[in-house]
Amino acid sequence: MSTVHDYRVDEWLRRALPGRCAFCLAATHGTLPWCQTCHLELPWNLPACPLCAEPQAGQGRGRPCGHCLRRQPAFAAARVPLRYLDELADLVRRFKFQASPRAGSVLLGLLVEALETAPRPDGLVAVPLHRRRARERGFDQAQWLARRLAVRLEIPLYTARRLRDTPSQRGLDRQHRRRNLRAAFGVESDLPERVALLDDVMTTGATFDALARACQQAGAQRVEAWAVARTPLP
């Protein structure tokens, strides 16, 4: 019930507030929170690896990257429309660390637009924070996005738990990230056949990989990784 209430409040705010672009503050037309110029100039994640959404350039555009060819992730595909750069990165930081509902609504709108033609999964699972970290931060950005996206797509939201308060992933390479997250997640309820995992930012995909394995143990047959932005290559 609270999810539907939150969504209705978001819609009311979106329609009631003056239409200004979230990036340049220029006037916008209609209800979109961005102007056409800024929308075109956003760091779109194209081309990208179809399996892990790693940004690509030069040869291999649109084909699985070397990491996925050596070790295919537990999830079947990744849908991550943007790169974590410039104004988009600033927007994510305002949402994640300042709990800005305006920034969150813009990110949600961009994600919904990117998923418009994607097949609908049978359920959605947010990448969970550990309870201690959620209390310290006072805000769970993935859960905020997932609750609203589930209403928009009219699909059920399932809950996963972080079983261990894992050390920060910052500064770790791909292999150490996977090791850090081994057996870190659990899903207590039975999951439907097709589920999508959701987070705000995807870095190497190690978190999604670990959560996808937990979802498969709970009955999911096909798991996709969804995020708003992908960290670019060094």
Reduced 3-state DSSP string for 128-180: CCCHHHHHHHCCCHHHHHHHHHHHHHCCCEECCEECCCCCCCCCCCHHHHHHH
- The CATH number for 149's domain is 3.40.50
| 120-162 tens-digit pLDDT | 999 999 999 877 776 777 789 999 999 999 999 999 999 999 8
29 part of a folded domain: no
| Residue 65 is assigned to a structural domain of this protein | yes
pLDDT computed for residue 174 by the predictor: 58
22 in a structural domain: no
Q: Is residue 137 a part of any domain in this protein?
A: yes
- Amino acid identity of residue 137, one-letter, is R
Average confidence (pLDDT) over 188-213: 95
Report yes or no on 13 lying in a domain.
no
- The span from the CA of 176 to the CA of 182, in Å, is 10
pLDDT, residue 61, reads 72
For the chain, the domain total comes to 1
Is 40 among the domain residues? no
Structural domain for 96, as ranges: 45-104+118-230
Which residue(s) pair with 158 in the sheet?
A: 125
Least confident among 9-18, 19-28, 91-100, 225-234: 9-18
Strand 194-202 relative to strand 161-162: parallel, antiparallel, unpaired?
unpaired
Q: Using CA of residue 54, residue 98, residue 1, residue 152, what is the dihedral sign?
A: negative
Asked if pLDDT for residue 12 goes beyond 50, the answer is no
- Stretch 160-179: mean pLDDT, rounded? 65
Residue 102 CB coordination number (10 Å)? 16
Among the ranges given (26-30, 49-53, 95-99), the one the predictor scored with the smallest mean pLDDT: 26-30
Predicted model pTM: 0.86
First and final C-alpha spacing in the chain: 43
How does residue 1 score in pLDDT terms, banded at 50, 70 and 90? Answer: very low
Say if residue 203's pLDDT is above 50. yes
Instruction: Map tokens 């990448």 to a residue.
Output: 127
Asked whether residue 14 is assigned to any structural domain, the reply reads no
> Does residue 145 form part of some domain?
yes
Residue 12 to residue 151: CA distance in whole angstroms = 15
